[in-house]
Structure formats: C-alpha cells, structure tokens
Structure 1
Amino acid sequence: MLNNVPRSIALGGELGRLIAEKDWAATTLGPFGNWSVALRTTVALMLAAKAEIVLFWGPDYVALYNDAYAPTIGLKHPHALGRPACENWSELWDDLEPLLRRVRADAETVFAKDRPFQIDRKGEMETVYFDISYSPVFGADDQVEGVLCIVSETTERVLGEQRIRESEERFRNMADHAPVMMWVTDASGSCEYLNRRWFEFTGSSPEAALGFGWVETAHPEDRPRVGAEFVAANAESRAFQIEYRLRRADGVYRRVIDAGAPRYDAAGQFLGYIGSVIDIGDRFEAEQKLRESEARFQAIANSIDHMVWATRPDGFHDYYNDRWYQFTGVAPGSTDGEGWAGLFHPDDQERTWAAWTHSLQTGSPYHIEYRLRHNSGEYLWVLGRAQPLRDSNGAITRWFGTCTVIQDIVNARDVLARSREELEEEIARRTARLMEAEGAIRQMQKMEAVGQLTGGIAHDFNNMLFVVIGSLQLLQKRLAQGDLKVERYIDSALDGAQRAATLTQRLLAFSRQQPLDPVVVQPDRLVMGMSELLTRTLGERIRVELVATAGLWNICVDPGQTENALLNLAVNARDAMPDGGRLTIETANAYLDEAYSSDYGISPGQYVLIAVSDSGQGMTPEVVARAFDPFFTTKGVGKGTGLGLSQVFGFMRQSGGHVKIYSELGQGTSVKLYLPRHYGEAALRPLAPQVAGLPVGRGHELLLVVEDDDRVRAHSCELLRDLGYSVLEAKNGADALPIIAAHDLSLLFTDVVMPGMTGRQLVDAALVIKPDLKVLYTTGYTRNAVVHNGVLDPGTQLLLKPFTLEQLARKVRAVLDGSGR
C-alpha cells in the first residue's frame, strides 16, 4: 500500500498510479487517509471502469478521472488531476458549472445526447460533442458530496452526420434547380426523392409519388411495362432506360425518357438508383412528322410511272423508288453509290457520266437521253432529269431525279427521220464532199502541228541523249584505261538526264497531266517570298519591283508550280531586256465578266491577278498569237526549248485560271495570270526545314519496293540501301501482299502504273492488313489512280520519276517522319 492507498485504487491503471503517488495533503481533499468511504469507493469503481468517467468532488469540484477519460481532455491531463474544475475547465466553466451545480443542488441526474461543448484541449478552441450522464454521489450523511460524470465523445459521428446532411442539402438544392426531372431510390427500389421539377411537371405530391407511387403518373397502357422493366433492372442492379408517356399537370401525356444509373457505397454495396426524366415530346413529334412525311413521299414516289432517285450533294446515289427496281430487276441497294452506271448501254456510259459530272460541278440541271437495261436484258431509251435542292444560303443539299421511258418517242422519231431520208441523203452527199475537203485540210494542219511537236521533242531529246550517251561512253573508256578523273563525264551525263526530266515535266504541264498539290495561299506572301530568288536569278542589271495590294483575296494553287510559272515569266522578261531594265510583279483583285470569260472558255467571277511586266523589247501581234504554241521560240538556237510559256498556259488551265499577254513592240510586255479566288480562311501549310546533308535511314527501318520494271526496281533498291535502309522488293502487287503481311514494314514504296494490280489497288489491300502502314507512290505518269482532275488525292505522297538520290532521300525521310509531302 503506497501512501495508505489500497490496491483497488493503486492498481487502477495509469490514473490509479498517479492517484497513489500524489500528495493529497496539498489539495482540498486532504490526505488519502482522511477520504470518506464514499469517495474511496467511487474512485475505485471509476478506475476499474472502461467507460470515460470523471468525478468532481466537493464544493470546489476537485477532478478525479480514469484512464479512459484522460484522452478526452488532451493537454489538460495530468495537471487537471486533483485540481478544482474551474482551473482547467475555465473556457467552458460558464457552461459546465450550472450542470454540476444542478446535480449537487437538486440531487438529480443530468442526461443529454450529443451535448456540444467549447473546449481547449489541444492549444485551440474546438467544438466537441458528448453523450453525458451526470449523477449525484451521496456521502455518509446522505448529502451530495460529488458529481459522477459518465461521458462518451460523439464528435466524429456528429460531424460526419452534419457533413452528410450538408451534402444531401447541396444535392437537393442542385437537383431542385436542375433543368430536368431527377429522382433517387433505395436498394429496394422505393423512390425516396423526386426533385422540384418533377413535381412541377406532373402536379403530383410527395405523399402520392414517393415509394412506388410515381408509376401511377405513367400512361395506363405503359404502366405494366414501365413497372416490370424497372423491377427487373433493380433486381440486377444494372443501368436502364425506359421510354413512356408521363402525365403532365394539365392532364396531357408527354413522351419521356427515364434513365437510371446504379449507386454504390465505398464497399461496393448497391444503394439504389439516381436517375433523370427528360421530356422528348417535341422531338418525338418532329420525328413522327418526319416519318409521316417520308411515308407520304414513298407513297407518291412509288405510285408514279417514273423511276425516281435521289443523291447526296456529292452525287452519291442513296435512294431509288420501287419502279426503278421493277424496271431494272436488280437487288435493292445494289445500285447505290456509282453502281447505277453499270446499267447504262456501253456506248452511252461515257457521255452520261460526263453530263452528270458537269451538273455536280456547276449545279446546273441534269438532262440527258440514254439507253437503260431492262430486266429482260433489252436496252430501252430513257430520259434522265434531275434538279438540285438548295438551302437558304444557296448550297446544294440534295439532288432529286427521274428516269422516264421514252422508247415509243424514240421509235416515232425514227419513223419521222426515215420520211426525210431522201432529202437528207442529198444533203448528206453534198455535205460529205465538203467535209471531205475540210477534213483533208484539217489533216494537213494536224500533221504539220504533230510534225512540229514531235520534231521539237526529237531535236531536244536527241541533243540531251547525245550528251548522256557520249559522256557515258567516255566514262567507260577512261575507266577501262584506269583513269579515275571522270567527274566531269558523270556531271555531264547527269546534267543531260536532268534536262530530259525537266523537258518531260514541261510536256506534262503543257498537256495538263502533271499532278498538282494545291493548298490555300496568300498571293502576296508567295510573291514576296520569291524576292531573293528573283534577284539572284535575274542578276544586278534587272531591277525587281514587287507591288502588293491590301485586302488581296486568297487562292488555292500548287505553290511550287506557281513559283515555277512566275520564274519562267521572269526569265523570259530578263531575256527580253539584254541591256537591263525593270521587272515588275504586282497583284490585284479582279472580276472577269461573262462577255470576257466566254471568249476564252473560262468561268466568270472573282479572280486574283498576278501581272509580270517588263520594260523590254516587246512582241509583235504575230509573235503574241503564237507565244503559247509548244516549241515556238524567238530565242537563238540552244537558248530555249519553246515550252516555257506552254507550261505556264497548261498550269493555269489545270488550276482553273487564265493567262493573257499584252505587249507593244519597243515598250515591253505584261503577262497577266488570273487565278480563281478561294472562298474561306487561309490555312497555310508550313514549309518543312531543309536539313543539311542527305537524310538517311536509322538502322531499324524496313522498306518494301514494288516496281514491275526490273532495272528501275534494282536501281531504287540500291539507292535506298545506300541511304541506310533495309529493303525488300517485289515485282507486282500479288508478290507484295504476302511480304506486307509477314514483315513489320516502315514504308511501302510502290509504282502507280503496273500490270494487273495497280499501285493504288495494292495500297488499298495493304491498308486492310496494316492500317497504319506509311505509303509513298512513284510514277512517271499518272492519270486516275492517285490524281483526280489533275489534283493529288488528299493525304497522298507522290515522288515523280525520274528522281535524284537527294529527292528520294528527302521524300522518304519526310514521309517516315510525317513532316511533309
């Protein structure tokens, strides 16, 4: 026994030890030996208890407490032990003292749940909550000597419930202000919340709707289905969506979509649903009207004798009436897209397709007679007509057309034609004699033009081939003699070959067969960007003036070919000013009216003018008239091919533009280029930076070369291997496809024009196998495979033959890196 403290107290945990060791003589309770039996007994019971208990003894409310209570007073422990309560509970004494006094004075128990207190137990004030039971402790004289406080802190639970209530309040506030009807159910499916919008819409009350009463607001015919679908979804805890009719407050039933998503607690336990109800009545009525309109259209279209069809704005056929299928006997859907053309008579297909293409491009009505295959296999004459449907802005949204059988009319025309045969035969005989004479003249002119063209080509190509063959023969001779100083022969051969390649490109430009890669450009920026090139090319004796125009329209052209055309004109101007002079390039907006346009076979409208003018010798009217003729030149022998202006003319017509020469002898010449205005914002393509040296392979890149010409294929493979690439090869598409399937290729390098499977067909099949495969086409001439209407298909990468090692290196690297065309 320590300080006369019995074991029942001293062994009462940490607080029992502190009570046993404390000098109680210095407190108002006096030495432990003087403590009353009631105090000792109460303390012993308190220390043995696991509940949070504090005992306030005597008029000063001296505090004694057990181990379970000590954490609830934080930093006040252990100083509060044996001290009057007013010292350590001073911050809440005004709240606590009346409770303790009430117990002492009235000898009654004070009980409360979640009683709040403001207390400083960790160095700062905080609000805490306790369940309390303050009971009187009686002494020997049956007077209240102390207050036994059994407490249980509920702060965490109370604050958690407050947070839940606040969260629910925020949700209800949000849901009640949401633009749609919202609801919440519990795990059993019972509806426990509907937002204000739902009650306003239905006019129902919470008493009638909560639980499962909301089902009664559905249309009587829909209720069984709605209830069954909801119960089934709830049983499986899965999301659902139900469409039904919901009664509005005015009694009108509106079609709605009711969708619910399951809710889960942190442990993954299903809590019920949260859902929304959206009024789709207006949309449903609009769709119903559209269906009714479609049904009426179908009824009308199928009730008339004409074959009716419709297309998208781009001409894709996507509708035919029943009469079409009855007449042709084909399966529904088989003539969608371009499949209809196969039913035309072979002799009519080309002109019919041309007429349809013209209408699509111009928006003009479609009108043509042709022969269409009947389900019997016989071809009958029909009249095809179509008109565009336009929106408020004038843009075409649909084409609607008909095919009318006119075989009887054609037969009648034949009968009428036979009745005029005799007269026509005489006219025909005389006309034939006249045409025969005119034909002979035209043939002579044609042969003269062909002779001039082929003679010019043969002359230039023979000169270039002489240089190439002669240089290679000298190279062969010098190498056989052991002479290694042969660079000049190699350079001479390469120069001759490059000149031949350039001549080929000019011929393609003249014939409008070169593939163009148009982009939207700002003309002033393009012209100003050529300043340094023009100054360097023309020399110091030519003063170059570039005149820009504010508010200049954009154009859509191939930038490289446009620069080539301007450079061609600038060089011609330089040659016309042997003693120096002034070259002016100016831009302006222009409008070509119908009168002017019809004279030159171009479309009237808005154009951007780029005029290249010089102060040179000028040309006579006779020279101007022949300036665009191929191989016509006024320069000395060996100083020009005569294809420069022909190339400019071909490029301008291929770009939808126009070129006109104005010249006066002794005053100078002005060549005016008219390029169609592009409607829309400029989206300039950034130029890829040129890297010094040849771009090479990176060791791991595997390329497949597909080329039907053995020598070209071998040469291409050798060049690519020399650039550091691993190379596989195939001579046609059939051999290439197994290689594509078996290897992880970095790039497919394929010729366009090949026997059997073309390059484009090979690429289409390869992309089915490997959709991410990168592709580079090559060709010396292409028409419809990757180029349509003279323009490269979007996203197509093309390298024209013949190409140099540097051109091949840069193009392959650009395609692999995805950095350019």
Structure 2
Amino acid sequence: MNIEASKIYGELTDEQSFRLLVTSVSDYAIYMLNPAGFINSWNTGAQRFNGYVASEIIGQHFSVFYTEEDRASGKPARALNTAATEGKFEDEGWRVRKDGTRFWASVVVDPIRTANGRLIGFAKITRDISERKAAEDALRESEDRFRLLVQGVTDYAIFMISPTGEITNWNSGAERIKGYSHEEVVGTHFSRFYTEGDRARNMPAQTLAIAAKEGRFEQEGWRVRKDGTLFWAHVVVDAIYDDAGKHVGFAKVTRDITERKQAAEALERANAALFQSQKMEALGKLTGGVAHDFNNLLQVIGGNLQLLAQDVAGMVKPERRVRNALAGVARGAKLAAQLLAFGRRQPLEPKVVNLGHFLRGLDDMLRRALGDGIEIETVVSGDLWNTLVDPFQVEHAILNLAINARDAMDGRGHLTIETGNASLDDAYVARNPEASVGQFVMIAVTDTGSGIPADVLTHVLEPFFTTKAEGQGTGLGLSMVYGFVRQSGGHLQIYSEVGHGTTVRLYLPRVMQEEDLVGEMHSGPITGGTETVLVAEDDEEVRKTVIELLLDLGYRVLKAKDATAALAIIESGAPIDLLFTDVVMPGPLRSPDLARKARERLPHLAVLFTSGYTENAVVHAGRLDDGVELLSKPYTREALARKIRHVLRNRQQRAMSHKVLFADVPSSRVAAPDLDAPRVLLVEDDELIRAGTAEMLRNFGLDITEAATGAMALRMLQQQAVDILLVDVGLPDTSGIELSVEACRNYPRLRVIIASGHDVALNAEQRIALPNVAILRKPYDLEDLRRMLGIRS
C-alpha cells in the first residue's frame, strides 16, 4: 500500500473501510438482502457476475438470479429459511445473468442479526465456478466413459487388486471368462484363479513382486474358472501409483486365448505333418528311383544266373553256388519291393476282403513264424466291414508287425491282433492330419514289449531306421507297412509307452461290395513258343539278358533301345506277336503311348509291360490300369515264360473272337436256338472275347447268357436254370475256379468249363468240388468249343 492510499484509509472509519473493501472485490458477488430477500447493496463482483449495475438491481428480490425451475420449486425461500434457522445456507447450482445466460455458482448465505439476536437481513456471497464445474464434469464424464468402457469389455477380464492381492473391482469380461459374479469375488485374493501347482510354486506372490519392482508383469499360462475348468490365459499386471507416488495396487488384464493356443498347436501339428509328409514323399521318390535301378541290376544278375543254371546242370558245386547266388537275388528283390512299398510305388492288386476271415487263415503261419514263446490272441469284432486291399500285402504287413513285436518282447510275451470297425471324425483328423474322415476297418497289433521312446517314435516309419542291433534288421518293415497302408487310402497310427508295449493300428477304407473269393492258382510245366517278341528296353545289360532268356525259350526276338525305335520297327511292317516293353524309358515317347500306337497299327498285338518302378505310368490310385499286363522286375525265367504264354493266349483268343464277330457268316449257317439244347452261362470280363465266344456258341444253336463278373454270374444262376458254366479264370472280382466251386455247391449237376491262357491245375479239394469240370486252353476256336461241349459237327 503506498503512502497516499495509507493516508486515505487512515482518514476512513472502520465501517467506511469495510464498505470500500466489499465494494472493490470483483471475484465474488457480495451483497445484502433484507429479511424478505430484497437486495439492498451491490458490489463490483456482483455486477461482473450477474450483469446488473446497482441502480438496476437494488430493491429487487434476489430470486431473480434463480432459474425458473428453482423458483418454481421454492428454492430461494428455502435458502433464506435454512440460513435463518441453521445459521448458514451453502449450495452450488445454476444461476441466471441479466442477459439470460447461466453460470454455475457457489453460494453462501449467512443471517445478519443485531446484538440482541434480531434478524435484520442476510449476507450473500456468490462465486462463478463454471470453469471448475466444467473441468469436474469433464473428469466425471471421462471417468464414466472409462467405467462404461471397462464394464462393457467382455473379451478381457479387467479388475483392480490391492497391494496385497485382494480384488477391489470386477468387470463383465472377468465375470464371463472366470465365471464369478462381482459379489462373489470382490474382497477375495486373486490367487484363487491359479492352478494348485502354480500356487504351490508361489506364482501369485511372484507376479505381484515383479509388477511392483518392474512396473509390469506379463505371462501366458493355465488359469482356473469357477467351475474348475482350465483355460489358457494371457495376463498383464501393471503397478498403480497415486499422484503422490504412493503404490495403491495393481491393474490386472486377463484374456482367454485358449482358441488361439489350440489354433497355434493345430498349425504346428499341421506344419509338422506337412514336413513329415514332404519328407516321406521325398524319401519315397528317392527309394522308388533306387528300386528301379536296383531291380534292373537284379534282372541282369538273376537272368544270367538262370541261364548259367542250365549250363551247369548236374554239376554239384556250381549248381549250389548258382542257387546261393539266386537266393541273394531273391533277397535283393524283396528289399526293392519293400522300398517300392514305402514309396507307395508298388502295383497293388486289391480285392474286397473281410479281414476277420483273412486273419483266421493266418493263425498257423504266425505261430510258426513267431515261435512257442509268443502267446497269440486274435480278436475279431462281429459284423466286420469289408475293405479293398491287396491280400498279399496285408499278409506281409501283419507278418512284419508281428515279427517286430516278437523282437520287442525278446521272443516271449503276449501278442494281440484285433480287428474292428472304426469311424474317424473331424476331431480325430484335426489331431492326425494324415488321416481322413470316414469309415474304416481297423487292424491293431499290440505287444507287451519294451515300448518305444518318444524321440524314437517320430523316426520309426522312415526307411532303414531301426533300433535293432546291426545285422538284425533292415529298418524297412514298418516303412513298408506305412507305404502300403497309405497307398491303399488308409492311415497308420502308433501308440507306445516305454515299459508297457506298443500298439500299431492300421485303418483301411471300408467298401460296400461283397467279399471276393480268392482262388488258388497252380502252374503247369514251363513252355516257350515260336512267336516274335519285340523287346523295348533302354538298359543294355537288361536287354541282352532278356533277349537271351527269350531265345532260350524258343521265341524269335526283335530289339529296340527305346519307345521311338520300337515304334519304327512296328511301322516297318515286321511281323510281331508281342511287345515286351519297359515302362520307364528315356525319350519323347512314353511306353503307354507306344503300346497305344502299336495297337492302332497291329490291333491283335499282345502287350506286356515290365518295370522295377512304374512311376504311375500304368498304375493309378494304387491299382494296375484296366487291361494292363505287368511283369515286375526282377523276374525269373519261369515267371517270364508263364506270363508271356498267358498274354499271347489271351491275344490269340481276342483275335479269334474278332474274326468270328466280323466274319461274313451266311445266315443259314447260324442255327436257331434249340429249345432242348443245353443252356450256357458264359462268364468273361474281356468284352471282345466274350462277344466272340458267344457268337461261336450261338452257331451251335445254344441258349447263351453272358456275365462279366463273378457276382453277376451268381445272380444269374439264381434267376434261371443253367446246364453249362463256361468261365474264364481271371475275373475282376473273383477267381473263376472259386466261382465254379460256389456254383457247383448250389447246383451239383452243373457242367463246368474253365478257360484260361495260363496252365491251370486244380488241387484235390477243388476236383472233388468240381466233378464235371474241363479245362479249355486259350486260344480256342469253333472246333475246340464243339469238342468241349460234345456237339457233333
């Protein structure tokens, strides 16, 4: 305060000084009301807040500053009454300026009394706190929005916990994820959400300690819901401090990521399965290629040894050495076959099989192979479905598994072979990506052996992997089984526990067809011929060997180093009866295309393929293509001789049938059906041979019914009377011999004629079942049929 001001204030009375002070205050409206509420003083602050000058407002009732709503509710009168009775009235609320705008005011009303206590009016102090209210409202709105946000989140559990771990609030996401309501959980310790193992390891306390020390804790792990179920959680815990820096608790955010974890695990399994599949595919291609070259080498060695065997006939030592060498070739051929099986490159000849019937037939063989120390139990489920598999390969697979089991049990233990029906669903396939959804026939081979460690289990299907001592196993047994099952459209699963044995389950696809009847074929003496054979083979040593074998069998031989050269020989017009060609040869022309072009030029040409590895050229979906004849390398002289005679006889029969069908036969020579003539059921799957033979039989005036399969023939036998069954040995769904046995069982007086390009020998049991049987060798002509049927010319 300066000197002049001091002089002025010094000259004023106390009352004048106080009045001057009140009038000068601009941040507060300070004015007096009479007992009835009328304004009788006015200061600068009141004028600034309310907009009225003193001359405009003094004498008016103070309710003019209230909103219409407050005046209607009697709030001004209540304010004065409260101040008079309680000594003070304090309030915050909206007030109205002269221009009609509103402001948020803090109001204090004090009663003014005389010395003897008489009320003479009121002192009213008002402050404009609109800015503070706006800030508070904004803060409150922000807090409300945050509260709504937190409560509205359902995918995250968001809650606060005290410094000692007690839960202080709870959102709807926490309730949804963990299962507890707000009332159930607030005030309890957050460790209730941890597993017993985590609590035993003091993990909840460690979580808070790390969060308090480092400001944050983050982890994934199992958490427990109210109902006791587990879920995989992503957890973040943040330490919370107040404005003064005091630690007041923790904010905890938990998310249920079980589905994400399952998806990640499924992806990991799928990637592992893809890697395994790619590895197996690469190994399969490698082993298939190796097998092809290996079989060519074996063919050269084996073919020359068989030729040498004839040269040393009667010489004891050389004969023994040749036999030993041929045994080595046979072992090599078996090894190559296992490689092809693993690589899913072997040509399968599947049939509809009931594995229950099949297993019973293996019992004696298994007991001989495994020895007396192994107790074998076979369990066959009732109503077992049929499956489409190569019976020889199933037998080989079961034998391999049984021998592996015997070795795991050191020759003493219990082996269980079980069959049953199985339906694999989406859940199983999700866990086992190599499998497919559907119905399967399951074979389980279980031993009581030592079991397989987990780190070894991932490798047991790989070729040449073995846990046996050196020299005691090739490591191809399980890989062969795996390849066969996969090629058959199935799935293999291994379960093992160290010290408790191993179970290998094979799942083979179910088929709805009836079981095939597999007949026993016998071969007669080996014969050669004088026909001309064109050999197409790119491997020079193999070509030389097979040519010498064919020449030794009496055939005339032409040779070509590839398919293009072979086609040139065919187009030259040289007489050729049989094309004997390797499936896999270099050059622009593939062997199947060579065969097609050759038959276009020579319709009656017989074709026989050979290969150690077919590369799917004549094998698709694991089966030989229809009409394809294949001789797998390495083959013996005997196998070559029999296969060539079979193919040539079928070719000659086709040619004869074609000649009959397209001959210009005068109608007078075709006899009308004789009502008293024998009724013949002709069963032949080759359409041209069937049509030609039927035409020959009609020339005799016979009543002919035709069937292409064994199943069709059995239905026809049930529907009509038949006197003679003329049946080919090789039918697509059964053996002609077994079909004949089945037919004669139901119709004992039936005459049977079995036709075949093979040499056929019936065993004693079949001869008893077929008392009226005759063998008709292909190729046959009209006179052969007449003689077989006993018809006079």
| Bigger relative contact order, structure 1 or 2 (CA pairs below 8 A, ≥6 apart) | 2
Q: Same fold (TM over 0.5)?
A: no
TM-score by length of 1: 0.40
TM-score by length of 2: 0.41
